[in-house]
Structure 1
Amino acid sequence: MATLILVRHGRTTANASGLLAGRADGISLDQLGCDQAALAGDRLAAVPVAGVVSSPLERCRQTARLIIDRQAGSPQAVVDPDLTECDYGQWQGRKLDDLATEDLWPMVQSQPSAVVFPGGESMAAMQARSVAAVRRHDAAFEARNGPGAVWVAVSHGDVIKSILADALGMHLDLFQRINVSPGSVSIVHYSASRPSVHATNTEAGDLSWLSNGIRSGDAPVGGGAGQKTT
């Protein structure tokens, strides 16, 4: 199968002020967020990316553009609503410090699979739609570009954490153990037998080894020799 690069959007004005932005309009990258997204683009510049699929929200589209602008070719650009932020309902636009006093907060931390945000979406539904979306796009990129294809999905923290939890075989109730920072890069390879996770939450480092994609196959006993860098 193809190789999926998960990129969280760069920091936003809402992130910096401790607001839960959700799906609100007008939330854009701040200067640090632009720098983080540009760095992700610089790291991916050495990798021929077949396409970039983005959440429709502005902060993700800004991040996607900074990645595409650094590509030597012209990767396909797609917006997919299934990669959008969780619908936090009545929590949207509120301060995280205030939300931490809500009765629902402990369940968000320890049992997210049972959480339905008031007037919004369940976290289980968020995971189901986002995992289905990346698997659908992954199969499509492989069909068009071959098994060595590398593509990028630009999305949001909780969405990416839920995709990584699925790839790692973790129950959604454990997904708060995963950290996904603004502008970070995570790498997942799907195969016929199982997903394999090659990186999570990386904010620096050479990604040129991805130029030839990741080969599917059995996991090497003992860990193997790692990816070829040349």
Structure 2
Amino acid sequence: MRLLLVRHGQTPANVEYLLDTAVPGPGLTELGARQAAALPEALADEDVEALYASTLVRTQYTAAPLAAARGLDVVVRDGLREISAGDLEALRGDAEHGELYLRTAFAWAAGEADLRMPGGESGAEFLARYDAVVAEVAASGAGTVVLVSHGAAIRTWAAARAHNVDVSFAAEHRLANTGVVVLEGSPTDGWKALSWAGAAVGPAGEGGPAGRPVEGVRG
């Protein structure tokens, strides 16, 4: 099956580079709403059969224009929410703690799933909840599915589960708001990343020009 992992549109927290992972979270900025509105055209060539979003409202707002354009319901699943920042949530705006957050998440993808985010979930818990939604999607029989999720969650899960995406690649390639990671495969056979924000992903996670990225900003 074809799996499209889409990061949500821009939020006020993104503008200020804040850790904001709690449910329900903020909505979209004006730019974020425009990014969401651009998704139907950006994914016009994709035969999307199902559409999922997390319990954080920013993903549901991002999915809404695509749902309306394709006549699909948005299936909301908690497993797709952002990696919980735990104790780091209250320390927002601190670059040191933001780096600790990402280092911990990428350590999970590198195999240290027993590590726990300070005051938050472990890698095993995060991967289990995300895997459960992907397994549900695969069992549905849909050929192409969009999962609207979150930057750290997408990068961490892709690095852990796609055989041609390693931690170095995921760490070096931030995913802009409404950026898309396209994968092909199944929970049984494994996953291969085909493109990352519009650039092809090679066997060793090497990028090259391909497709077109969805308009967005970093953060």
CA contact (8 A) 2:86 2:118 kept: yes
Distance 1:3 1:171 in 2: 16
Name the aligned partner's letter for residue 155 of structure 1. S
Task: Give the TM-score taking structure 1 as reference length.
Answer: 0.72
What are the ranges of 5 or more consecutive residues in structure 1 without an aligned counterpart?
Answer: 204-218, 220-225
What are the ranges of 5 or more consecutive residues in structure 2 without an aligned counterpart?
Answer: 204-209, 211-219
Distance 2:10 2:171 in 1: 19
Name the aligned partner's letter for residue 136 of structure 1. E
Following TM superposition, the consecutive aligned residue runs of length 4 or more in structure 1 with deviations greater than 4 angstroms are 101-107, 170-175
Task: Give the TM-score taking structure 2 as reference length.
Answer: 0.76
Distance 1:101 1:77 in 2: 33
Q: 1:200 aligns with which of 196, 201, 214?
A: 196
Q: CA, structure 1 residues 75+106, in 2 after alignment: closer, same or farther (shift >3 Å)?
A: closer
CA contact (8 A) 2:52 2:148 kept: yes
Distance 1:32 1:84 in 2: 21
Q: CA, structure 1 residues 65+93, in 2 after alignment: closer, same or farther (shift >3 Å)?
A: farther
> In structure 1, what is the equivalent of residue 91 of structure 2?
94
Bigger Rg over Cα:
1
- Counting matched residue pairs gives 196
Question: What are the residue-to-residue correspondences of 1:69-218 with 2, within 5 Å?
Answer: 69-71=68-70, 74-96=71-93, 98-100=94-96, 104=100, 107-108=103-104, 111-112=107-108, 113=112, 115-140=115-140, 142=141, 145=142, 149-169=143-163, 174=168, 175-191=170-186, 193-202=189-198
CA contact (8 A) 2:85 2:118 kept: yes
Distance 1:128 1:58 in 2: 22
Distance 1:93 1:154 in 2: 25
Offset at residue 4 of structure 1 (A): 0.9
Deviation string 1:17-50 (CA, Å, 9 cap, x unpaired) is 1211111434011011112222222212343321
Higher RCO, Cα 8 Å, sep 6+: 1
CA contact (8 A) 1:36 1:183 kept: yes
Offset at residue 106 of structure 1 (A): 8.4
Offset at residue 64 of structure 1 (A): 0.9
Q: Percent identity between the aligned chains?
A: 27
